[in-house]
Amino acid sequence: MKKVITYGTFDLFHIGHLKLLKRAKRFGDYLIVAVSTDEFNKLKGKKSFFPYEERKQIVEAIKYVDKVIPEESWEQKINDIKKYDIDIFVIWDDWKWKFDYLKDYWVEVVYLSRTEGISTTDIKRLLSGISDDAIQ
């Protein structure tokens, strides 16, 4: 059984997240998703709209996802790869080349292009511009 892992915040769940999960699952039979905790986001100077527990539950409910684990530090990836015996590490190509060092731990590293769709940042920006009239 091929095991795949990916990482992300998955805030304001949108079609881009869904496509990432669907594409990640194509690389194997079992998909683990590491969802950033609120504490880890804080460390990165970021704040999600929804708390970890809600983001986690939504990702867990997606058909392509077999297991969700918390992402709590930059360093945990090597441990995750060993612990879950991961074959393929999938990430958006915003991070291109950045995770090539993981190949030393016997994992394939796949960068997915964000050719289509929208990011959570775009959504927050668009929504922050909408007027009260448009809210119903």
For its own copies, the binding residues (CB under 8 A) are 12-15, 18, 21-22, 45-47, 49-50, 54, 57-58, 61-64, 121, 123-132, 134-136
Residue number, 14 or 114, with CB nearest to its own copies:
14
Amino acid found at 109: V
Annotated catalytic residue, options 46, 67, 82, 103: 46
Residue 103 annotated among the catalytic residues of the structure: no
Residue number, 7 or 107, with CB nearest to its own copies:
7
Contact assessment for residue 96 and residue 26, using Cβ atoms and an 8 Å cutoff: no
What separation in angstroms does the CA of 20 have from each of 13, 14, 43, 105? 11, 10, 24, 23
Residue 46 annotated among the catalytic residues of the structure: yes
What separation in angstroms does the CA of 132 have from each of 5, 127, 129? 40, 11, 10
Work out how close the CB of 61 gets to its own copies at its nearest, in angstroms, rounded to a whole number: 5
